[in-house]
Amino acid sequence: MPTLSEVVKRDHARITDAYHVLVETKPEERNADEFVWALARYLIVENLALIPALEYHISGGSERQRRLSDDYNSINAKLRHMAKYDPSEESFESALKAIWVDLEPHIREETDGDLDELERKMEPEDSRKLGQKYETLRDMLQRPYGAFGVPNAEIMDDVLGTTKEQLMERMGNGI
């Protein structure tokens, strides 16, 4: 069973790869679904699994939790904004790069600091349990979506607009 850090780093890699594919693809051939959905799932699951662990296990964790919450709000708003544009539009590319301005340092800070510190403070078994929780939550967000497994705009807006408390209620606090 992977640790929490391992599953979060896998998501970081998945999102980074999807971003670079999107940037490197000709505008008229772009399909943003993989990037948008991977990032949306990550934001939600991070908010439910990683942020509480950081707050609980790391001194100064509540300050880091506040900064991560600010990151979440900014990236989420930019993602919702970008989703309004067709990938072939110039505005789409500007919105995509605006997301990366926030997302890249967020990923770097977690990967190079938060996750290592968290692993040092946690028991390995606790980290594996949280890694399982993270994967379970992420998997729950992969299933019930539109044609060809791609969420439509209404579903995406609903998911991105759902508060942490609403998600925890829908998914059950015991996961």
pLDDT along the chain (175 residues), means of 10: 93 95 91 87 86 80 74 87 88 93 92 89 92 84 58 60 62 47
Identify whether the C-beta of residue 39 lies closer than 8 Å to the C-beta of residue 75: yes
Dump pLDDT digits (tens) for 132-161: 988 888 877 765 455 555 555 665 566 666
Which pairs count as long-range contacts for 125-130, CB under 8 Å and 24+ apart, including other chains? 127/3, 127/4, 127/5, 128/1, 128/2, 128/3, 128/4, 130/3, 130/4, 130/49, 130/50, 130/53
pLDDT value, residue 147: 55
For the CA atoms of 125, 131, 135, 141, the dihedral, rounded to the nearest 10 degrees, stands at 120
pTM: 0.79
